[in-house]
Amino acid sequence: LLIVLANVVLYRVLRALSGSTVPYPVKSAVVLVILLIGTLFYGFSRLTGQDALDTKPLRVALIQGNIDQDVKWSPSFQDKTIAIYDRLTREAAKEGVDLVVWPESAVPFFLQDERFQAEKIKALAREFSTTLIVGSPAHELRNGKTTFLNSAFAISPAGETTGRSDKIHLVPFGEYVPLGKYFPFISKMVVGIGDFSAGERATSLLVGQTQVGTLICAEAVFPEVARDYVRAGARILINITNDAWFGRSSAPYQHLAIVAFRAVETRTPMIRAANTGVTTIIDQNGHIRNMTGLFVEGFRTGEVRPGTGDSFYLQIGDAAALLCVVLTVGIAGLSWVRRKRIT
């Protein structure tokens, strides 16, 4: 609304300066200045306010394995992949952490099938007495048919799988083919597309007594996903991703900037683990701390205090945007009616 109002005021000022009969928009300019000052005042007051729970912060470790896309899904590279994440986790967790996060599809096999590598991962959680959240594909039966999901698993300090969060918003032509179910020929036209199904519900994972909401890759683009998690009780948000697809471009940083908005909107800290992309911690004010680079192995550690789950956006959701749509349609309709009357 502010952007639209500012552009309208600027347009009318330019029209007035050009010698047009359009008067200077004095009243509109005053309203704009008042709104801008009010917005700045509100912003500064929130930045200096307390938006975190008065509880002990969680010590987190975020792992960036930087597994090359060409070998990421190769069966012959699975042991090497787990060895890389094992080594980085040991380095990050040696001083004690409450939570270790591996990125999207860090485990290149079905963790739920309890293979030997799966036991090694669970043993790592037991050894360091920490909760481990890892990205892994999953499968389940739906209506007698096996479906595949892009998921995150939580492993407790006891080495037990305590929860699974499935990706709900899939990437079209990346993880599934739109309308492929109804028009099979479309799938045949597009080679190399994943055959994933969407998760049926947003499921929070537990880290001790704290609920965390896991947004997998592009899910962080959708404000309503983060909002649903926080309204359901999540006090920390996690984004696991693999931005290697973007190469050395501005896209990984654009993705990161979008993710930061989810933290601000919900007043909830966001921790982010990427295969490569940007692994970092974002506080509830949107401050991005201690980023990794692109296409490097590494990890980031830090303390995260759970958010309060209290923000204006959490209360109203997208009502303001819907109101703008209604007003736009209404004004356009009134304008059309007036023209019809004149003619």
Q: Would you call 324 a catalytic residue per the annotation?
A: no
Q: Would you call 188 a catalytic residue per the annotation?
A: no
Provide CB contacts within 8 A for 97, sequence distance 6+: 59, 60, 61, 128, 130, 301
Strands 131-142 and 99-101: parallel
Write out the E strands in the chain.
58-64, 99-101, 131-142, 145-155, 161-166, 205-207, 210-216, 236-241, 270-274, 280-282, 288-289, 298-304
Candidate list 104, 175, 219, 265, residue with the active-site label: 104
Cα dihedral sign, 318-174-220-148: positive
Q: Tokens representing 19?
A: 């010698």
Q: Would you call 160 a catalytic residue per the annotation?
A: no
DSSP state of 247: -
Candidate list 167, 175, 219, 265, residue with the active-site label: 167
Taking the C-alpha atoms of residue 66 and residue 292, their distance in angstroms, rounded to an integer, is 11
Angle at 126 between CA 125 and CA 130, to 5 degrees: 50
- Tokens 């359009």 correspond to 22
Candidate list 122, 175, 217, 219, residue with the active-site label: 217
The residues annotated as belonging to the active site are 104, 167, 217
